[in-house]
Copies of this chain bind each other. A is one copy, B any other.
Amino acid sequence: MKKLINDPADVLKEALQGVAAAHADRLTVLTEPNIIIRADAPVQGKVALVSGGGAGHEPLHGGFVGMGMLDAACPGEVFTSPTPDQMLAADKAVNGGAGVLHIVKNYTGDVLNFEMAAELAGAEDIEVEAVVIDDDVAVKDSLYTAGRRGVGATVLAEKICGAAAEQGKSLAEVAELCRRVNANARSMGMALTSCTVPAAGKPTFELGAAEMEIGVGIHGEPGRERKALAPVHEVVEMLAAPIVDDLPFASGDRVLAFVNSMGGTPLIELYIVYNELNQFLSARGIEVSRNLIGPYITSLEMQGCSITLLKLDDEMTALWDAPVNTTGLRWGA
């Protein structure tokens, strides 16, 4: 196993120490339980956004804590759900009196633990709504998941709903918006190589030198099919066609196109993917009016990419463009 780590058991702890040391001006990192919160939390009167999940997908979620996005992130061990006590601690730390939205990726452990946390928070008079993200069209009912998996749309929902919360929307409004983002977003990913979970010490799955996995999950879960390597032109077709057909996206739609690295694929390749995706969509009359290109929801050092398309309306577009100040996404007005 080739990784820049010490003891595999200390990966999360030491990464969080690094985050704390690097970003003390803007983030507070608590331990026992582990949560990352905005340094200015709680923001009084604002709906608070809490997300979380297993580590190994950085910058998701800790890198999206800050003005205009999340108020807190709950990191579990690598590819392991955080616990209800983390989520409850996060809710209590960031609730500014306007309630808390849980943004939950659809994995069985995450969903159950966030449900329990919501009950516990309710018992302490914190109003909680939860939205489960399930945008991955690759498979239904896979390892770790009943129904579709939650992947790239999570990043977009956190940005768009974070902006809405910042503008003073109510908990019901922000939750409704989050459901709308999820309903209008579809994703699919692929892997050229497996990742290696530090505690396991060996690749999660085996892929031959001339093989790729189409529809892979962000923990290396099996996808739709194992295929021979193909030019990226064909790979993009394999990912984008099922996405576009599923919603469906139609001619005249404006979309946000998100091309994501699984962690080990560099930017130069992502731009080639984007070029193919843009041509694919243009040919179908779909206009890319916003884009996001980079490693935002990763699977450790896995090589590969995912594509997420979100059908935009004017409100979502304006919220996407609104200022954000996190370590992972940052722009001004």
Contacts and interface: CB of A to CB of B under 8 A. Distances in A.
A269 interface: yes
A22 B273 CA distance: 11
A278 B2 contact: no
Contacts of A14: 271-272, 275-276
Interface string A233-263: 1010000000000000000000000000001
Interface string A282-306: 0000001001010100101101110
A303 B266 contact: no
Interface stretch (A56-64, A112-120, A166-174): A56-64
Contacts of A6: 231-233, 272
A330 interface: yes
Given A4-B305, A212-B2, A295-B267, A21 B192 contact: no
A268 interface: yes
Contact of A4 (B21, B192, B298, B330): B192
A86 to B, nearest CB: 18
A6 B275 CA distance: 11
Contacts of A231: 5-7
Interface in A1-46: 2-7, 11, 14-19, 21-22
A18 B301 contact: no
A267 B301 contact: no
B58 A192 contact: no
A150 interface: no
Contact of A18 (B3, B21, B275, B295): B275
A283 to B, nearest CB: 13
Contact of A58 (B5, B268, B332): B268
A262 to B, nearest CB: 9
A274 interface: yes
Which label, helix, strand, loop or mixed, suits the secondary structure of the A interface? mixed
A100 interface: no
B298 A301 contact: no
Contact of A291 (B22, B298, B300): B22
A270 B298 CA distance: 14
Per CB-CB distance, the 5 closest pairs between chain A and chain B, nearest first, are A18-B271, A18-B275, A332-B332, A58-B267, A2-B192
Given A17-B275, A263-B264, A330-B330, 18 more contacts: A2-B192, A3-B192, A4-B232, A4-B269, A6-B232, A6-B233, A14-B276, A15-B268, A15-B271, A18-B270, A18-B271, A18-B273, A21-B275, A22-B291, A22-B293, A58-B268, A265-B301, A295-B295
Interface of A: 2-7, 11, 14-19, 21-22, 55-56, 58-59, 63, 78, 192-193, 209, 212, 229, 231-233, 235, 263-276, 278, 288, 291, 293, 295, 298, 300-301, 303-305, 323, 325, 330-332
17 contacts: A2-B212, A2-B229, A2-B303, A4-B232, A4-B269, A4-B304, A14-B272, A15-B268, A18-B293, A21-B288, A263-B266, A264-B301, A264-B303, A265-B301, A266-B298, A268-B300, A330-B331
